[in-house]
């Protein structure tokens, strides 16, 4: 027998109108014997219609999602909506408050914690609430990601190629509507523990993004997110209005050769910037040993030709870090 999730929402998901409240998760600890994690949530509902579940800060150091969703939560009124919008701007809320990818409480990576556990860590309890309470309510799921503090991406919206044709088509229709500068068809994924898979396995239409990174958001990248979420809600038939057109280019990362890993630590010197074209065999970056001057750097050669689609951010690199991702342009 499965135990119920311990989270107590202070909103009624079935009530009409706008509600701002919390998912209150009891969390007993040294500095508060009867404390809780208070995850902000907004529900906007108006009559019958599909439900969109919108999340940011699945990883706590990714900011375009929270910015777009804080704006949306404050501005969305029921009369603009047909159906329901559930907004959780910071899914891994403890991580978001700490400005870190994972939760400071349990080091939980939310996107590796599904389906979660009602009696597990704080991160697992949140995952379980999404798995068993929120995802079942949803028709469309948008989960914002960016590179976080240690990666930076060309801004793209993406969905996974799925065996169910309707689900696949609907997801890519929404990706197109989102209207990011780049769009990606993700062919295969390491599905273990991901929110993506949890949603898709329930048959939900799931859309995600990578919209920048470096532990910040620019005015440009935040604008992409703000516009994208509105476009997606319009396209999903929930928000009144028109999709604000935007051109997008399609990228693919077909195999492991797209990813370059460091075997050595040191000071990293990039020789290309995001969006630059690189030919196979060219050095993407050099790694300088930090222990002495006058020594040779290690050069990291591209294993395929394409565009630099993602890169490592911190000026020092550690052995095993993914340094660069090279993507190829494809027809949408």
Window 285-324: residues binding a second copy (CB under 8 A)? 288, 290-297, 312-316, 318-322
264 binds a second copy (CB under 8 A): yes
Q: Parallel, antiparallel, or unpaired: how do β-strands 283-288 and 298-301 relate?
A: antiparallel
For residue 87, the cross-strand partners are 42, 54
CB closer to a second copy out of 78 and 265: 265
Task: State how far the Cα of 253 lies from the Cα of 87, in Å rounded to an integer.
Answer: 30
* Min separation Cβ 205 and a second copy, Å: 24
Q: Which region among 46-54, 194-202, 247-255, 257-265 touches a second copy (by CB under 8 A)?
A: 257-265
CB closer to a second copy out of 166 and 318: 318
Give the contact letters, 205-234, x = binds to a second copy (CB under 8 A), - = no: ---------xxxxxxx-x------------
What angle in degrees, to the nearest 10, is found between the helix axes of 64-75 and 219-235? 60
Say how many CA atoms lie within 13 Å of 45 toward its Cβ.
17
273 binds a second copy (CB under 8 A): yes
Nearest to 122 by CA among 261, 23, 50: 23
Residue 11, judged by CB atoms within 10 A of its CB (0-12, 13-18, 19+), counts as middle
Interactions with a second copy, residue window 190-209 (CB under 8 A): 192-193
186 binds a second copy (CB under 8 A): no
CB closer to a second copy out of 60 and 179: 60
Alpha helices in the chain (DSSP H): 64-75, 93-98, 122-129, 135-137, 165-178, 195-201, 219-235
Nearest to 26 by CA among 17, 35, 18: 35
Selected binder of a second copy within 45, 84, 149, 230 (CB under 8 A): 149
Q: Parallel, antiparallel, or unpaired: how do β-strands 277-278 and 249-252 relate?
A: unpaired
CB closer to a second copy out of 165 and 292: 292
- Name the token pair of 308: 């630099």
31 binds a second copy (CB under 8 A): yes
Nearest to 233 by CA among 46, 56, 53: 53
Q: Which region among 175-183, 200-208, 231-239, 271-279 touches a second copy (by CB under 8 A)?
A: 271-279
CB closer to a second copy out of 22 and 237: 22
Selected binder of a second copy within 28, 163, 165, 279 (CB under 8 A): 28
151 binds a second copy (CB under 8 A): yes
Interactions with a second copy, residue window 56-95 (CB under 8 A): 59, 61-63, 66-67, 69-71, 73-74, 87, 89-90
- Name the token pair of 280: 């196979």
* Min separation Cβ 34 and a second copy, Å: 4
283 binds a second copy (CB under 8 A): no
Interactions with a second copy, residue window 88-127 (CB under 8 A): 89-90, 96-97, 99-102, 107, 109, 112, 119
The DSSP 8-state label assigned to residue 180 in this structure reads: -
What is the total count of residues that contact a second copy (CB under 8 A)? 92
CB closer to a second copy out of 80 and 150: 150
* Min separation Cβ 217 and a second copy, Å: 6
Instruction: Decide if 317 contacts 270 (C-beta within 8 A).
Output: no
Other Cβ atoms less than 10 A from the Cβ of 303: the count is: 16
* Min separation Cβ 225 and a second copy, Å: 10
Task: State how far the Cα of 252 lies from the Cα of 258, in Å rounded to an integer.
Answer: 10
């Amino acid at each position: 027998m499965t135990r119920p999730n311990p989270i107590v929402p202070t909103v009624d998901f079935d009530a009409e109108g706008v509600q701002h409240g919390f998912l209150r998760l009891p969390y007993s600890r040294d500095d508060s014997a009867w404390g809780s994690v208070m995850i902000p949530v907004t529900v906007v509902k108006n009559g019958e219609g599909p439900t969109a579940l919108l999340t940011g800060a699945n990883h706590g150091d990714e900011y375009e999602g929270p910015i777009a969703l804080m704006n949306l939560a404050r501005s969305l009124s029921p009369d603009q909506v047909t159906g329901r919008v559930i907004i959780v701007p910071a899914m891994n809320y403890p991580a978001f408050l700490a400005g870190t990818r994972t939760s400071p409480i349990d080091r939980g990576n939310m996107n590796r914690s599904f389906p979660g556990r009602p009696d597990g860590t704080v991160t697992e309890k949140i995952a379980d609430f999404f798995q068993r309470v929120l995802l079942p309510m949803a028709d469309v799921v948008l989960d914002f990601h960016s590179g976080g503090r240690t990666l930076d991406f060309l801004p793209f919206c993406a969905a996974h190629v799925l065996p169910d044709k309707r689900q696949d088509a609907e997801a890519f229709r929404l990706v197109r509507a989102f209207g990011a500068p780049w769009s990606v068809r993700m062919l295969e994924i390491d599905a273990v523990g991901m929110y993506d898979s949890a949603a898709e396995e329930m048959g939900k239409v799931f859309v995600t993004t990578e919209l920048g990174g470096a532990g910040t958001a620019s005015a440009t990248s935040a604008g992409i997110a703000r516009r994208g979420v509105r476009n997606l809600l319009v396209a999903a038939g929930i928000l009144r209005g028109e999709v604000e057109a935007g051109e997008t280019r399609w990228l693919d990362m077909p195999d492991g050769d797209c990813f370059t890993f460091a075997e050595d630590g040191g000071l990293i010197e990039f020789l290309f910037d995001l969006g630059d074209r690189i030919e196979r065999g060219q050095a993407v970056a050099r790694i300088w040993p930090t222990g002495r001057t006058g020594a040779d750097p290690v050069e990291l050669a591209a294993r395929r030709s394409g565009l630099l689609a993602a890169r490592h951010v911190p000026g020092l690199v550690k052995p095993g870090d993914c340094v660069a991702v090279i993507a190829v342009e494809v027809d949408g």
